[in-house]
Amino acid sequence: MTRRLLLSYLSLTALVLVVLEVPLGMTFARSERRQLTEAVRHDAFALVLLSEETLEGQAPGDLGGLVASYQRTTGGRATIVDARGARLADSAPSEGENFANRPEIQTALAGREAVGVRYSHTLGQRLLYVAEPVASAGQVHGAVRITYPATFVERRIRRTWLLLAGTGAVALAAVLLVSLWLARSLTWPLRELEAAASRLGRGGLATRAPVPPTPREARSLALSFNEMAGQLERMVGVQQRFVADASHQLRTPLAALRLRLENLGPELPPSARDDLDGAVAESRRLSRLVDGLLTLARAERTGSPPQPVDLAEVVTERLAAWSPLAEERSVQLEGDLPRPLPVWSAPDRLDQVLDNLLANALEVAPPASRITLTGGRSGDLVELHVVDQGPGLTPEGRERAFDRFWRGATPRDGHGGGFGLGLAIVRQLLATDGGSIELRPASSTGLDVVLRLRAVTADSVS
Ligand SMILES: Nc1ncnc2c1ncn2[C@@H]1O[C@H](COP(=O)(O)OP(=O)(O)OP(=O)(O)O)[C@@H](O)[C@H]1O
Ligand SMILES: [Mg+2]
C-alpha cells in the first residue's frame, strides 16, 4: 500500500512538473534565440553605421580593425563585403575572396535584411547569421554580416533545460520524502492492526491494537477490532472456565463412583465380576478424560510467566522417568542435546509436553525400535526433534492430530486408546511460552515431532 501511495504521489508530481516545465523551457529557448538575434542585429546596425562612409568611398577607414575588435569583444565573426560580394574585411581567417554565393549576402546586397540559421558546408556547422545591407539613397554599397555558431545559443538553452530538470528532480525528491512520511502515517495503523489480528489469530486473545489519533477511519477500525478482541476473550474465558469448573466438579463424584464400584466386588456373585471390572475400567477412563480436559483448560489460561529452563536437563529427567516403560516394551530411548540449552518456559510445563510426546511415541513404537530426542539452538529458537520409528501419520492425520478428540486409526491400548487430547494440550502449553509444534514425517518411517521454543539469549534476558 505504501508503494502504491508513493507511486501515485510521484506520478502526479511528475505530470505537473512536465506540464509546467516543458512549456517554460520552450518559451525560454524561443526568447533566448530572439534575444541573441536582436543583439546581433543591433551589432550589425552599429557596424553598418561605422563602415558606411568607408564603403561609400567618402572617408578612408580601417574595416579590418573594426571587425577584429568586434570579434575580440563579442566572440562573433564579422564580415564586410562590397556591392559585388567581394570580401573587404573578415574577422576570421577567410575561406574565399568572394561571398556573393552566400544566400544571406545575396539578400543583403539586394537591399534586404537577412536573419536566420543555416548549415555552413564550408565550416561544417550550423550558423546563426544576420546580414544587413550598407545602403544610402537607394544604392547598396556593400553588406555587413555577423555570424555565431548555433551551438553558442544551443549551449545556453541546454543549460536551461538541465537547470529545469535539476529543479524537477529536487521537487520530486522533496515530494518523495513528504509522501513517504504521509504514506507511512496512513499505513502504520493498518500494519499495527494486521500484526494484532495475526497475534489474535495465533491465540493471543489479550492482544489489542494501538489506537491512532488520526485518520478517523483507522481509529474507528482499531477501536472496533479491540472491542471484538475483548468480546472474544470474554466469551472464550467463560467457555474455558465452564470446562475447567465442570471437569473439576466431576472429579469428586467420579472418584466416589469408582470407590463404590470397587467396594461392591465382595458382595456380587462371581458371574457379575466381569461386568463389575468393565464398569470400574470405564469409570477410570472417564476420570482420565476429565483430568485431560482439566489440564487443557488450565493450559489455555495464561498461567505462570516463562522463565529460563534448561531443556537438556528436562529431557534427561523425563527420559529417566520413562525408561522403565520403554524397557518393558523393548524400546530404546536416546537423548542427544548440547548442554546447557536454556529456553523460556514456565516450571513443569516442559515436563507435561515431553510426557505427552513420549507417551504417544511409546504407544506406536514397535519392539526393538528407537525413540530419539535431538536438537539444538537455531537462531533465536531452540529446536527439539522427538523421532520414533512407528507407523507415522498421513498428511491429513498430521494436520488433524492437534484437533481435540481426534484420534488416529490404531487404537493403542486395551481400553480403547487415549482421548485425542494430548497434542492439543501440548500445543496450548507451548503457545503459552511463545513456542510452537510441527509434525513431520521422519526420514525412514515414523513421526518427527518438531518443537520450537524461544531460546534464552542475552537480549531476551535484559
Ligand atoms: N508418534 C506418533 N506416531 C503416530 N501417530 C501419532 C503419534 N502421536 C500421535 N499420533 C496420533 O495422533 C492422535 C492424537 O494424539 P493425541 O496425543 O492428541 O491423543 P491420544 O494420544 O490419542 O490421546 P491422549 O493423549 O489424550 O491420551 C493419536 O490418536 C495418534 O493417532
Ligand atoms: Mg497422546
What is the rounded average pLDDT of the residues 319-339?
Answer: 95
How far does the centroid of ligand 2 lie from the alpha carbon of residue 388, in Å?
14
Whether 223 maps to a domain, the answer reads no
How far does the centroid of ligand 1 lie from the alpha carbon of residue 418, in Å?
7
Can you state the angle between helices 63-74 and 2-56, rounded to 10 degrees?
A: 170
SS3 labels along 279-307:
HHHHHHHHHHHHHHHHHHHHHHCCCCCCE
> Is residue 392 pLDDT above 50, yes or no?
yes
Q: Out of 103, 137, 155, pick the residue that ends a domain.
A: 155
Residue among 403, 421, 423 to mutate when testing ligand 1 (max atoms within 8 A of CB): 423
Can you read off the three cell numbers belonging to residue 250? 466431576
pLDDT at 243: 84
The CA R_g of the chain, rounded to the nearest whole Å, is 49
Whether 205 maps to a domain, the answer reads no
Spatial distance between the Cα atoms of 38 and 32, rounded to a whole number of angstroms: 10
pLDDT at 195: 92
Count of domains in the chain? 2
Which pLDDT band holds residue 453 (cuts at 50, 70, 90)? very high
> Is residue 365 pLDDT above 90, yes or no?
yes
Residues 60-89 have pLDDT tens digits of 788 999 999 999 999 899 999 999 999 999
What is the rounded average pLDDT of the residues 17-27?
Answer: 92
pLDDT at 236: 87
What is the rounded average pLDDT of the residues 353-372?
Answer: 95
> Is residue 447 pLDDT above 90, yes or no?
yes
pLDDT at 109: 94
Statement: the pTM of the whole predicted model exceeds 0.75? no
* Domain containing residue 92: 2-155
Whether 167 maps to a domain, the answer reads no
What ligand 1 atom has the least distance to the C-alpha of 292? Answer: 26
Q: Out of 108, 127, 155, pick the residue that ends a domain.
A: 155
Element (H, E) at 152: helix 150-201
Residue among 288, 360, 419 to mutate when testing ligand 1 (max atoms within 8 A of CB): 360
Whether 181 maps to a domain, the answer reads no
> Is residue 462 pLDDT above 60, yes or no?
no
pLDDT at 36: 87
pLDDT at 415: 47
Whether 22 maps to a domain, the answer reads yes
> Is residue 412 pLDDT above 70, yes or no?
no
Whether 297 maps to a domain, the answer reads no
Nearest alpha carbon to residue 222 among 240, 237, 238, 207: 207
The CATH number linked to 367 is 3.30.565.10
Residues 143-189 have pLDDT tens digits of 999 999 888 888 888 998 999 999 999 999 999 999 999 888 888 88
Residues 182-221 have pLDDT tens digits of 888 888 888 899 999 988 887 778 889 999 988 889 899 9
Residue nearest to atom 27 of ligand 1 (CA): 418
Strands 381-387 and 447-454, by their bridges, are antiparallel
The CATH number linked to 32 is 3.30.450.20
What is the rounded average pLDDT of the residues 344-360?
Answer: 92
pLDDT at 12: 93
Whether 200 maps to a domain, the answer reads no
Name every residue whose Cβ is closer than 8 Å to that of residue 256 and which is 6 or more positions away in sequence: none
Which pLDDT band holds residue 125 (cuts at 50, 70, 90)? confident
Residues 229-254 have pLDDT tens digits of 999 999 988 888 888 888 888 888 99
How far does the centroid of ligand 1 lie from the alpha carbon of residue 401, in Å?
7
Q: Name residues contacting ligand 1 (CB within 6 A).
A: 292, 356, 360-361, 364, 388, 390-393, 401, 406-408, 417-424, 447
Q: Out of 128, 155, 182, pick the residue that ends a domain.
A: 155
pLDDT at 414: 46
Can you read off the three cell numbers belonging to residue 4? 502504491
Whether 208 maps to a domain, the answer reads no
Spatial distance between the Cα atoms of 292 and 420, rounded to a whole number of angstroms: 9
